[in-house]
Every structure is written in C-alpha cells, then in structure tokens.
Amino acid sequence: MTILVLNAGSSTLKFAVFETRNDPVLRFKDQVAGAGAEALNAVFARLARENIAVAQLRGVGHRIVHGGTEFSRPVVVDDDIEARLNALRALAPLHQPYGLDALRAMREAAPHVPQVACFDTAFHASQPEIAARFALPRAYFERGYRRYGFHGLSYEHVVHALPAATGKPLPARLLIAHLGNGASLAAVREGKCVATTMGYSTLDGLVMGTRPGAIDPGVVLSIMKDDRLSLEQMEEILYRKSGLLGLSGLTSDMRRLLESPERQAQDAVEAYCYWAARQAASLIAAMGGIDAMVFTGGIGENAEFVRGRIIHHLAWINGFSVHIVLANEELIIARHTTGLLT
C-alpha cells in the first residue's frame, strides 16, 4: 500500500511517500514552494515521475495543527468531519488554514482516496484540567479558551522512537524539548502528556524564532494602547517580529546567530537557552521529577551549544539521561493513516 503524507505550511508543502505493510517504510520525501492547488499540482507531478498514480493511493495523511477539544485522535475525513474542522480555523488562524486547504484540494483531486487528519494538539489531550485551565472566569474554559499544546505529532514520535533507540523501556518521567523556529517542551509521565509550554496559541512558552513565548498580557495591552496599534499590527509583532529576531535585531536563524560575533546575537541565544531551562524546571515539577530528557527538532538536533547551555542551567538536577531523537512527524502520520485504513 502506498501512503502520501502532506504537511502544509504558509510557504511550502512538505510531502512524503511511504510503502506500508506492517509498518510504513519511507520511499521518499520532498517539499515544494507555495501553497494551495498550485503546490499540490507540483506534488502530483513528482508522484507521476515516480510512477505513482494519485487515484491508486491507499490513503493520504494530513498534519492538521488544531483539533480543538473535539478531535483527540486521528480521524478519517468525510464532509461532516471537514465542516467541523473548518469551524476550528479561528483557533489557529495563522496555521490551521493551510492544512485544511490542502485537505480540501486533495479531496477534490482524488475523491475516492481516503483522507486522514492527524492533529498536533491530540497528544496533549491527556493533560489534567488543572494544567489546561486558565485562571479566567469559568465560562471561558467552557467556550474553549484553554491550554491545548502543539507539536504533538513530534512528541508522539519521540515516545515511540526512544525505547527502540535505547533498547530500554520509556522513562517514567520524560522531558521532551522540540526546539526549532517554533519551540515547546512537554512533560510526559508514563507515556502521557501532563503539561506543555504552548497554550491556547503557538505564542506561549519558550522564546522562539519570531515569537516571544511567555509574556505578561499587560505588556500587550499597553503597547497596543500607547502605540495605538490595531489587532492586526499587534499580531504581526507577536508572531513575526519578536523572539530571536526581535532580541537580536538581526535574524531568527539560530545557525547565523551562533556564528555571529555581535553581542546582541549572543544575548538572543542565551535568552533562548535560559527560558527553555526555566520553563523546563516548571514541567519537571509538573511530573514530579525527571528521569530523562530528549532533544528533537532542527535546533534541538543540530545545535550542540544550545543543548549544552540548557543542560548547564539544569545541572543542579541529578540523575537524568539526555538523548537526541531525530524528528519524524511524517512517520507518525503514516502510521496513523495506515492503522485507520486497515
């Protein structure tokens, strides 16, 4: 069986093809520039060069950023499911539309090929209510204002891959650091998420490439009032002009910052590491200690200096092992797709 996996972003469409019997095996993966139908046509052209007919695919797995409270596991998409997913666009307006647009275009292009939606929020559905609830009037929680968490497909992959890599059972108290342009941590106890740093949106938690992480909401209100900013202007600052870019005034690229001799570049890197460690300590408290830590994601896997600084800040904690697991969200999506369709 041939499975296509799609991961749609604002400027690129990543895709992977798996051959699957018992467990999916990667045949190839690639990405094309753009979004929407034009990008999907480029994917189809690549499949044709590989002698893969779209109509003969066993299924297509999609990374969908947000499942809300309704979708806590992968689901085969029909018209009703798609309509319910579209109702969630407002929960992640800068991320959700791309995945859903790719899903719609794929359903139109190959109406007889099953489509499976896999959610970045699903892994965090196991958080206890005390971790998910904001200290706001109770009615807001019932309306969906809560901590959802993201990067869940990456965390799920680590949970499956670490025992295979070490030959040992999954550590009971595992801290996972998904570090990239977007970054978060997850506290995993007995294989289940009990806390994570991202919340209602992808803005919360760690310093990121262009996002600030945890910030006093009073700062946001005051900046909007003092500078007379619109909601859209403030959104632009928070999502695209803050984080490493805002701190350094140079770039959001960690590799370039690590190579730069500029003091503001070094300060930005140190802030990234400091806040990762500071938030890590709060998650360690949430799971009652730590047995192991895993780094994954582009920065987590490749930036040895960043890993070292974070571990340095956590050196007061004794007795936990440190591992690197290469991110592979596509494999998890392929497994979910295969499982649901067989």
- How far apart are alpha carbons 196 and 132 in whole angstroms? 9
Asked if the structure places residue 336 within a domain, the reply is: no
Judge if 286 and 189 occupy the same domain: yes
**In sequence order, which residues have a C-beta less than 8 Å from that of residue 135 and are 6 or more positions away?**
none
Tokens of 125: 């559905």
pLDDT for res 94: 79
Residue 184 lies in a domain: yes
CA gap 342, 330 in Å, rounded: 18
Asked if residue 195 and residue 65 are part of one domain, the reply reads no
Tens digits of residue pLDDT in 116-143 = 999 999 999 999 999 999 999 999 999 9
Whether residues 180 and 281 share a domain: the answer is: yes
Question: What tens digit of pLDDT does each residue of 201-247 get?
Answer: 999 999 999 999 999 999 999 999 999 999 999 999 999 999 999 99
The domain in which residue 90 lies consists of 2-119
pLDDT greater than 90 at residue 329: yes
The answer to the question of residue 176 being in a domain is yes
Q: Considering the domain boundaries, does residue 140 fall inside one? A: no
**How many separate domains does the chain show?**
2
Does 175 share its domain with 256?
Answer: yes
Q: Which amino acids are annotated catalytic?
A: 120
110 & 238 share domain: no
Q: Give, rounded to a whole angstrom, the gap between the first and last alpha carbons of the chain.
A: 10
pLDDT value, residue 10? 77
**Which of the 8 DSSP states describes residue 68?**
T
Domain assignment of residue 227, yes or no: yes
pTM for this entry:
0.95
| Residue at which a domain ends, from 119, 152, 176 | 119
Query: The domain spanning residue 236 has which CATH number?
Result: 3.30.420.40
Residues 55 and 190 in one domain: no
Does 175 lie in the same domain as 320? Answer: yes
Helix pair angle (96-109, 79-86), 10° resolution? 160
Instruction: Report phi then psi at 322, rounded to 5.
Output: -125, 135
pLDDT tens-digit map of 147-196: 999 999 999 999 999 999 999 999 999 999 999 999 999 999 999 999 99
Tell me how far CA of residue 39 lies from CA of 27, 154, 176, 329, in angstroms. 20, 24, 32, 20
For residues 234 and 294, membership in a common domain is answered with yes
Residue 337 within any structural domain of the chain? no
Same domain as 200, residue 313: yes
